[in-house]
Structures are given as structure tokens and as C-alpha cells.
A = this chain, B = another copy of it.
Amino acid sequence: MSRVIVVGGGAAGASAASRAKRVDPSAEVYLIEATDMITHGPCGIPYVISGIIDKNKLVVYTPEVFEKERGIRVLINSKVVDIDVDKRIVEVYRNKRFEKLKWDKLILATGALPKVPGVPGVSLDNVITIRHPAYVDELIKVISDKDIVAVVGGSYLGIEVVEALLERGKKVLLFEMFNHLLSTSMDEDVASIVEGEVLSRGVELHLSEKLVEIRGGNRVENIVTDKGEYRVGAVILATGVKPNIELAKRTGLRIGETGAVEVNEYMETNVEDVYAAGDLVEKYHRVLNKKVWTPLAPSANKEGLVAGANAVKHRLLKFPGIIGTAITKFYDLVIAKTGLTEKEAKQYNISYEAKVIKTRTKAHYYPGAAEVHVKLIAEKRMGKVIGAQIIGKDHIVAGYIDIASVAIERGMTIEEIFFSDLSYMPATAPVWHPLIVASRVLSKGKL
């Protein structure tokens, strides 16, 4: 009987363990998690902060149920402190003692960690990061009696946290070092719509302002940027995340240029019988044809599934990579992108055309339509669409971005998108679908 040990009980790890056991029910599968939660949804943390959902709901399975229903040994509050690849042993610290466990196949899924800026004062009390759901109570406790909270970082997570804080009645100062919000995922023209919404909620928005220091006695009192000093009761750092590679490095796994663990399409690492999946690893970007690091739950789940299947059945599945789809919202404004941004197209020297259009989500006469902005980017040589950014106060935006995602993945041209057979009825779309209008405008008179 072979033993599969999975390190990390988040999306990738739980998927990997489940899949391994499912593909080979005779395998002995361990899932080892450092906190007391597995199958937790960190993407839901902002909604726990805002109070619309309960923390415990973020968990799909309790360790007990997971163990029972899936036949997987789950070790919680268990930290893997060392891995010996020659002897095929993991050393685990749990119940205040160290234990050794043999493995035949190992899957690392240790996820990501918040990136903390290297400025003075980040260790003060009431300076917090958003990480694992296990720590969200602590965060809520910190902010509960504060009136003014600073959020550093205008990323997807940053604006989700801003919404959560507003929902709790906090005055919010949002600091972003770049000249627009969502600087790594959206272009400036589209991000400006988000900025308008953020400002309309009375958020104090500080763009192009870099964190220099956090000041206080024990607890934070002031936040200092290159442009000013502001009195705040707490600081939430949403300054990005990084792959949690410490254990992987010590295990001898190769780290790629992105700083994450290198894997092939089978989720194999450079070390035999050691797989890795999820936020820990690099992803192959199908449009760029290169490795990137985009830590998101959907690919983590699928990578985990591939790693788990392959761990018990050699190269059963391949993970084809991602194309950079991401989505968030600020109140009812849904903000989504897929493929490359204009900025990325420039960065990678792709000759491109880009246009933003504004249209509606329903027939011109049907009540309740939302305004929607669609930006499409196409490379010039073949007219293939390589990127889309869509934003509007209607969750149908999620549908639109996924249409674009599939279209981009399949290498569709502007003309092919224009002629695609998208659905129409007055209550759900204009007769010229927003993506069709956008492709038409991008065709510069051809369509």
C-alpha cells in the first residue's frame, strides 16, 4: 500500500488528497494542516470582516467530516518542519511533539503568505495582514473599536477590504503607491471607474503615495507616506502575497524566476515523487507562453486535482495553465479581467490594438440595465484577442469575462468573436452583445 502525504489543507491540498484517494482508494492519504481549518476559503475573508457571513461557513468540510467521508487521514494543528527526500520522511510537530511519517509520494501545497513592506513599524500592534481564515477573528477584534483604518495596497484584496471596513462603519484611508488602483491587474482607464466608486463612498484615496513608516508606541498611531502623515487606529496591509516556499526550498525543490516552485504540466517538481500545487507554484500562462505567478483558488483546485491524480497514477492528467482571469467587486461594481492588460502587452512588446466601449447589460428598452465598460485588446498580426477588462454594476460581468476567457484561450480573432452565437433576450442582453460591440469597435470599421 502506497502512502501519499499532502502538506497544506487549503484548496490545492484538499483537492489533491481527495483526488489521490478517489483515483486509488487503496492508497493511504494524509492531509497535514498547520491551522485547525481545512478546505477553507480565504477569498471569503472580506465578507467575514464585513459581517455578511460567518467565519465557520468559509469551511467546506470540517477535518472530521473530511476524514470520515473521504477516507483521508487529516492532521490539523500540525506543522511540517522538515522533509527528507532521500529517506522519504516528513517530520511533523503536533501535540507538542515531533513525529516522523514515511511517504511514497509527497504533495506540497503550502500556499502563499502576505508580503509585508520593509518599513519601520510594521510589527506594531494593530498592523495586520489578511491571510488565513483562522486569523480573521483576531483582525475583527483589532478593528472593532477603531474609527479610522488605513488600508495599504489598492489591489483586488485591498478594495475588498475597503468595502468590508465601510460596511462596518469605519472611515477608510486607502493608500496605493502606483498612480491607479488595481495596478497589476487592470489598465488605468478601466481602473479609473473603480476609483470613482471608491471616492463616491467617501473613502480617502491616496494614489501615488508610498508607505514610508508606521508610527506609534506599542500600537499604531500614525501612518507616514512620502507625501504626508495620517492618524489612524489600525493599518491593514494588503501589499500583496508571496509563495510560501520555505519548506519547498529546504526540500530542494527548484524555484522558478517568478519566485514560486517550478512544476511541469503534471505538477511534478524537480524532485522525484514530489509534486506541488496551488499558490506555492508557478503557473504556465497560455497567452504569454511563459511562467507567471498568479495565486488564485480556481487554478489551485485544479492543480491540486492534477497533482493528486498523478501521485497515484503516473501522469494521468495535465494542467494546461491559466490565461490570467481574475475578478473582484466593490459593492455592486463587478471588476474583471482575463488575458493580458494593455500594460502587459506593452511590457512583452506585443503589437496590439485596444479599445474601451461603454454599453448596457440589457436591451435598450428593458428596465434595470446596468452600464458596462468593455476593454478588448487584440494583437495586430492576426487580430487575435489577447485581453479583456470588463466592469459594470451587474454580476453578469462574471459571465462576460468568462466568455472572453474561453475566446482568448481558443485564440479567437476579433471577427470570430463578433460572429459568435451569443445569447440574446431583452432581459439579459442587448441584441448586440457587449462583447460583440467591443469586437466591432476594435475592428475599426471592418465589421
Contact = CB atoms under 8 A, between A and B. Distances in A.
Interface size class of A (residues with CB under 8 A): 35 or more
Contact of A365 (B53, B323, B402): B53
Given A299-B421, A327-B428, A406-B412, A41 B363 contact: yes
Contacts of A436: 298
A426 B298 contact: no
A424 B296 contact: yes
A35 interface: no
Which of A421, A425, A426 has the most chain B CB within a 10 Å cutoff?
A421
A93 interface: no
A367 interface: yes
Interface in A372-415: 395-403, 405-407, 409-410, 412
B409 A329 contact: no
Nearest to A306: B419
Interface string A329-368: 1000010101000000000000000000000000111110
A424 to B, nearest CB: 5
Contact of A421 (B322, B425, B428): B322
A271 interface: no
A47 interface: yes
Contacts of A57: 364-365
23 contacts: A53-B367, A57-B365, A298-B431, A301-B432, A305-B447, A317-B447, A320-B416, A327-B424, A327-B425, A329-B427, A336-B423, A338-B423, A396-B398, A397-B428, A398-B399, A398-B429, A405-B420, A405-B422, A406-B406, A406-B410, A409-B420, A409-B421, A410-B412
7 closest Cβ contacts across the A-B interface?
A: A399-B399, A398-B428, A57-B365, A327-B423, A410-B410, A325-B421, A298-B424
